[in-house]
Amino acid sequence: MKAAPGSIAVIREADCIGCTKCIPVCPTNAIVGASKQRHVIIAPLCIGCGLCLGPCPTDCIVWEALPSLTSVERRHKADLVKHQIQQRKAHQRRVAEKKALKDKIATDNIQQKLCDVFNKVASIDKR
Ligand code: SF4
Ligand code: SF4
């Protein structure tokens, strides 16, 4: 979906079905809402990237002109967005580390079970 510089995304709440599909694609954590509840976009965090429009099944995310900001407000927004992007990356890293650990434990368990089976077979063969 095309980005719209100078615009921010807003959700037409009446058409939102709360499917949550827009949340994981937003790089700045600007979309909030629980499953089956209407979602909202936190305007100061929206950078107008347009990534949330594609996954929305009801096309209820639309563009709205970005209100003009003072230079202080622009800096504040940039800081907020930067912080959210860092938070998101840290969260994604933690999720990936957890998955890698779970996979390793599962692999270790399989290897341990295989060793047990081989040892049992070996002990039967020795009889
Ligand atoms: S346009 Fe981009 S930043 Fe704004 S809510 Fe959608 S995904 Fe998030
Ligand atoms: S993808 Fe669309 S319908 Fe689904 S929660 Fe987001 S805004 Fe609502």
User: Are residues 18 and 46 part of one domain?
Assistant: yes
User: Are residues 99 and 37 part of one domain?
Assistant: no
Among residues 23, 44, 68, the one where a domain terminates is 68
Average pLDDT over residues 5-31: 95
Asked if residue 11 has its Cβ within 6 Å of ligand 2, the reply is yes
Average pLDDT over residues 70-92: 95
User: Are residues 61 and 3 part of one domain?
Assistant: yes
Does pLDDT of 66 surpass 90?
Answer: no
User: Are residues 75 and 63 part of one domain?
Assistant: no
Q: What confidence tier does 14 reach under pLDDT thresholds 50, 70, 90? A: very high
Asked if residue 51 has its Cβ within 6 Å of ligand 2, the reply is no
Name every residue whose Cβ is closer than 8 Å to that of residue 21 and which is 6 or more positions away in sequence.
55, 56, 57
Total residues found in the chain within this entry: 127
Asked if residue 39 has its Cβ within 6 Å of ligand 2, the reply is yes
Q: Which domain holds residue 77?
A: 70-127
User: Are residues 95 and 33 part of one domain?
Assistant: no
**Distance of alpha carbon 66 from alpha carbon 5, whole angstroms:** 9
Tell me the average pLDDT of the chain.
93
- Answer yes or no: are the C-beta atoms of 27 and 88 closer than 8 Å: yes
User: Are residues 64 and 14 part of one domain?
Assistant: yes
Q: Output the domain CATH number for residue 46.
A: 3.30.70.20
Q: Could you tell me what percent of the chain has a pLDDT over 90?
A: 84
Q: What confidence tier does 91 reach under pLDDT thresholds 50, 70, 90? A: very high
Which residue has the CA at smallest separation from atom 7 of ligand 1? 26
Asked if residue 19 has its Cβ within 6 Å of ligand 2, the reply is yes
User: Are residues 75 and 62 part of one domain?
Assistant: no
Unique residue bearing structure tokens 């100078």: 6
The pLDDT of residue 1:
63
Which residue has the CA at smallest separation from atom 1 of ligand 2? 56
The backbone torsions φ and ψ at residue 61, rounded to the nearest 5 degrees and listed phi first, read -100, 125
Does pLDDT of 31 surpass 70?
Answer: yes
User: Are residues 77 and 38 part of one domain?
Assistant: no
User: Are residues 96 and 58 part of one domain?
Assistant: no
Torsion of CA 94, 100, 102, 108, to 10 degrees: -150
Among residues 49, 68, 87, the one where a domain terminates is 68
